[in-house]
């Protein structure tokens, strides 16, 4: 507050008081510190054999982790660029085109040099890099858009990444699961101060980092289990897990375009705001969307266990959950009563 690094009430913002920014700084430092500590521990303590008392399983995984350190270094570099971009935007309010260019550059670097890209049934690296970059930028902006109400972006990110942790654990992915746990712990620590009524906001310095890490986990988690099911549709699990954030991003974007506005100009037309018009408090609105995210995400975890009919039912369930939200918020817009 003394430094003036705060969010002021504005026409395009729902909060009515001055709230400190800077939560993104804590999020970035926590993630960077834990990942850096893990890399240093493996490189200088575990793998050289100085911690043999941890057991063979730890030292075995340490060898694989050591090979991933260059990729993790690239990831940290990408996260730093997004953090710096968001921090700059929080201070100077940059234009959307410049931010998109930087986001795409970071996404391409992560895809090419850190192997953060989709590989399902596609052999062309150019195609997979392009698709992955588009997905990463989409998820970054989805969580940036979602940061429109206290506790919403951080809470939904924590839920989605907890589900991704479950999927990674079922797939035996130790490193991806470990990164998911670090990220979830970071978000929960921040959420203590960000849940309604928020004492601090993450700002773009936080939302860009959060969106990137969620996108990273969706691309690095294994969904396709040839040995278990041999079916292709589990690859759509990220779409189910991200159904609520994507619904907000697409609905508010289409709404702004239909009104002749830029989709990147902030307002109070997000689905959380539309739900609140039904008389819900901030906490009730956020908890409702937490529940919707949990329902769509948990359903997706069963994709690799079911046949095609079961997959269709899971997708139908996701659609119906979003339809309930859409009907609820639409009636709020059409309600002309004094209350």
In a domain, 7, yes or no: no
Average pLDDT over residues 308-331: 86
In a domain, 4, yes or no: no
pLDDT at 217 exceeding the cut of 50: yes
The number of domains in the chain is 1
Q: How far is CA 85 from the centre of its chain?
A: 17
In a domain, 8, yes or no: no
User: What integer pLDDT is reported at residue 336 of this predicted model?
Assistant: 46
The tens digit of pLDDT for each residue in 239-280 reads 999 999 999 899 888 888 888 887 877 777 777 877 888 888
pLDDT at 30 exceeding the cut of 60: yes
In a domain, 326, yes or no: yes
User: What integer pLDDT is reported at residue 337 of this predicted model?
Assistant: 45
For the chain, the residue count is: 339
In a domain, 10, yes or no: no
In a domain, 133, yes or no: yes
The tens digit of pLDDT for each residue in 8-22 reads 766 556 666 788 888
- Indicate the pLDDT class of residue 234, thresholds 50, 70 and 90: confident
Cα–Cα distance measured from residue 243 to residue 291, given in angstroms and rounded to the nearest whole number: 12
Higher-confidence residue of 27 and 311: namely 27
The residue range of the domain holding 178 is 16-334
Cβ burial of 56 (10 Å; 0-12, 13-18, 19+) is exposed
In a domain, 201, yes or no: yes
Q: Is 6 helix (H, G, I), strand (E, B) or coil?
A: strand
User: What integer pLDDT is reported at residue 291 of this predicted model?
Assistant: 93
- Indicate the pLDDT class of residue 318, thresholds 50, 70 and 90: very high
pLDDT at 330 exceeding the cut of 60: yes
Cβ burial of 323 (10 Å; 0-12, 13-18, 19+) is exposed
Higher-confidence residue of 90 and 43: namely 90
In a domain, 260, yes or no: yes
Q: Report angle CA 254, 213, 4 to the nearest 5 degrees.
A: 80
Q: Are 82 and 106 in contact (CB under 8 A)?
A: yes
Average pLDDT over residues 66-88: 93
Which residue is it, tokens 């996260």?
Answer: 79
Closest by CA to 14, choosing from 104, 106, 148, 145, is 148
pTM for the whole structure: 0.89
């Amino acid at each position: 507050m003394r430094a003036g690094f705060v969010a002021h009430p504005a026409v395009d913002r729902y909060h009515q008081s001055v709230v400190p920014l800077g939560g993104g700084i804590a999020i970035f430092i926590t993630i960077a510190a834990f990942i850096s500590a893990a890399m240093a521990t493996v490189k200088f303590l575990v793998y050289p054999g100085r911690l043999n008392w941890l057991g063979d399983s730890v030292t075995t995984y340490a060898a694989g982790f050591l090979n991933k350190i260059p990729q993790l270094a690239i990831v940290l570099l990408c996260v730093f660029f997004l953090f710096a971009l968001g921090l700059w935007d929080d201070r100077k309010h940059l234009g959307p085109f410049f931010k998109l260019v930087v986001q795409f550059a970071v996404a391409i670097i992560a895809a090419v040099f850190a192997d953060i890209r989709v590989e399902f049934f596609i052999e062309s690296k150019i195609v997979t890099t392009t698709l992955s970059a588009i997905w990463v930028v989409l998820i970054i902006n989805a969580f940036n858009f979602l940061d429109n109400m206290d506790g919403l972006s951080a809470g939904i990110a924590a839920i989605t990444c907890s589900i991704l942790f479950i999927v990674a654990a079922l797939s035996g992915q130790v490193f991806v699961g470990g990164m998911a746990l670090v990220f979830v712990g970071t978000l929960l620590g921040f959420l203590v101060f960000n849940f309604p009524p928020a004492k601090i906001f993450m700002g773009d310095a936080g939302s860009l980092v959060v969106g990137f890490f969620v996108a990273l986990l969706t691309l690095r988690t294994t969904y396709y289990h040839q040995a278990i099911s041999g079916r292709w549709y589990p690859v759509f699990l990220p779409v189910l897990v991200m159904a609520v954030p994507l619904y907000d991003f697409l609905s508010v974007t289409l709404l702004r375009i239909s009104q002749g506005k830029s989709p990147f100009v902030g307002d109070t037309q997000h689905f959380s705001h539309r739900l609140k018009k039904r008389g819900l408090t901030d906490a009730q609105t956020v908890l409702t969307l937490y529940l919707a995210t949990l329902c769509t995400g948990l359903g997706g975890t069963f994709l690799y266990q079911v046949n095609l009919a079961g997959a269709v039912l899971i997708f139908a369930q996701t659609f119906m959950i979003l339809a309930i939200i859409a009907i609820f918020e639409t009636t709020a817009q059409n309600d002309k009563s004094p209350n």
